[in-house]
Amino acid sequence: MMAFQEKQLPADAPVSAKALNWIDARFPLTSTWKAHLSEYYAPKNFNYWYAFGSLALLVLVIQIVSGIFLVMHYKPDASLAFNSVEYIMRDVPWGWLVRYMHSTGASSFFIVVYLHMLRGLLYGSYRKPRELVWLFGVAIFLCLMAEAFMGYLLPWGQMSYWGAQVIVNLFGAIPFIGPDLSLWIRGDYVVSDATLNRFFSFHVIAVPLVLIGLVVAHIVALHETGSNNPDGVEIKAKTDANGIPLDGIPFHPYYSVHDVFCAAVFLIVFFAIVFFAPEMGGYFLEANNFIPADPLKTPPHIAPVWYFTPFYSILRATTSQFMYALEIGVVAYLALLLVKSKLSGKVKLGATIVAAVALVGMFIFDAKFWGVVLMGVSVMILGGLPWLDHSPVKSIRYRPSWHKYVYLVFGIAFVILGYLGVLPPTEGRTLVSQICTFIYFGFFLLMPWWSKMGSFKPVPDRVNYHPH
């Protein structure tokens, strides 16, 4: 065990220096500052895509602080919840501002996180050695979805109540345990006061604690491996005599100032929405949610908030007719794995067994169950990206030009799924969502083949950087 040591300072040293020395002897304040800011060397060719991680952290702080003030006046009681929100909006000084900051922050969080994930997708930030960074990020995304879903119930408006009813009832489609699982989640046979109380406790305590822990783990893992960059070049491969990357610059003050500027621009847009368009035409706050929850009156069209709608569209696209196309797709993908992949015999055997079980299950269980499965898999498949992408280069800059169109088609399909999820289903819209569902899953499942096809450009030994 190391003996306690406190650095000796001159008697005339400033009081601030003595105080910092006293803290450093008992807590790694200065070393943490150096490790994660002033002596954390980031690639010098960062662009504005790399600001979204810091913006996500900013929105997290906004959500926590605004949430604390909302909890001071909110009543997690089915008979009082809606009126308590109205009380916050009308009678609490600046309550309307805090509430709109929190609701706008929820949508802003997903906008920033989606763009953050898009940057990782384009520049291959999930590739070795950052697999764990990416997995922590996917876990953060899942926590964020759970947090948003539970928070959406709390205003106890019509869309809150019936949206929760629809989503919780989906768990009832799970064979054998579904009804009991739905009952356990609700805490009652219908969405009621018990549901509101448990969702409230998870929303304000349990999930935020997990979310903050995952954010810390995400940042620590990132700073351990180092940041990726638009060229996909590992800057730690070339260092000077002191071990400092030749293409790296300290995060503080260079990128901290950069992020402060981006945060200022973001806050201007954020508060413009808060003050002038907090409902955003019904996408951020729906009109039906300003009506108290009524278990006896179902809204004509129930849809989740916009950030869930791409996955909700995949759920709705899974009809009994769609199951035939899904069965053909499973058989075709298994044939592709067996014929065109270089997997070992054991892995191919395992894939055959999984496909066989899935095909049998498609005959036994109904389309509703498989819709829930596909909706869940559509999120979880993001975690497999580090092992699905077999491209010899990381960044899209050095991939074949046609790869950009693959990403573009995937992005368009994702946006269409999101848009269709807001609208009432029709036969034509269902068909389009089914096509987009195949495109969505095809992007990931066919990635082991298309990601290594074409002529790749040579990756430079060092990052491309042009001073400005």
Please tell me the predicted confidence (pLDDT) of residue 468.
59
% of the chain beyond a pLDDT of 90 = 76
Least Cα distance to 362 among 318, 323, 321 occurs for 323
For residue 166 the two structure tokens come to 């629809």
Structural domain for 126, as ranges: 38-290
Would 9 be classed as within a structural domain? no
User: For the stretch 270-302, what's the b/e string if a residue is b when 16 or more beta carbons lie within 10 angstroms of its beta carbon?
Assistant: beebbeeebbeeeebbbebbbebbeeeeebeeb
466 labelled ligand-binding: no
Contact criterion met (CB below 8 Å) for 169 and 240: no
Q: Tell me, what's the pLDDT at 435?
A: 96
**Owner of token pair 């950009």:** 404
What is the C-alpha radius of gyration for the chain, rounded to an integer number of angstroms? 25
Quote the pLDDT of residue 39: 87
Q: What is the reported pLDDT for 8?
A: 82
Structure confidence by residue, pLDDT tens digits, 110-126: 999 999 999 999 999 99
pLDDT band at 173, cuts 50/70/90?
confident
With contact defined as beta carbons under 8 Å apart, do 312 and 375 qualify?
A: yes
Number of domains the chain is built from:
2
Is residue 420 within 8 Å of 360, Cβ to Cβ? no
Is 203 assigned to a binding site?
yes
CATH number at residue 357: 1.20.810.10
Is residue 457 situated within a structural domain?
no
Indicate the residue among 259, 290, 321 that finishes a domain: 290
Residues 43 and 182 in one domain: yes
Residues 212, 276: one domain? yes
Residue 300 has a pLDDT of 83
Is residue 281 domain-shared with residue 312, that is, in the same domain?
A: no
Q: Is 258 annotated as a binding residue?
A: no
Say whether both 242 and 346 belong to one domain: no
Q: What is the mean pLDDT of residues 439-448?
A: 96
Q: Alpha-carbon distance 316 to 13, whole Å?
A: 69
Same-domain status, 52 and 191: yes
How far apart are the C-alpha atoms of 347 and 351, rounded to whole Å? 6
DSSP string of 27-52?
S-HHHHHIIIIIT-EEETT--GGGGH
Query: Do 259 and 315 belong to one domain?
Result: no
- Say whether 403 counts as a known binding-site residue: no
Specify the pTM.
Answer: 0.94
* Among the ranges given (144-158, 233-247, 261-275, 394-408), the one the predictor scored with the smallest mean pLDDT: 233-247
Q: Is the pLDDT of residue 395 over 60?
A: yes
Q: What is the pLDDT of residue 13?
A: 86
Whether residue 399 is contained in a domain is answered as yes
Task: Determine if residue 116 is labeled as part of a ligand binding site.
Answer: yes
Based on the fold, state whether residues 280 and 326 are members of the same structural domain: no
Number of H helices, E strands in the chain: 19, 2
| CA 317 – CA 424 distance, rounded (Å) | 12
Claim to verify: residue 274 and residue 336 sit in the same structural domain = no
Residue with tokens 């929190």: 102
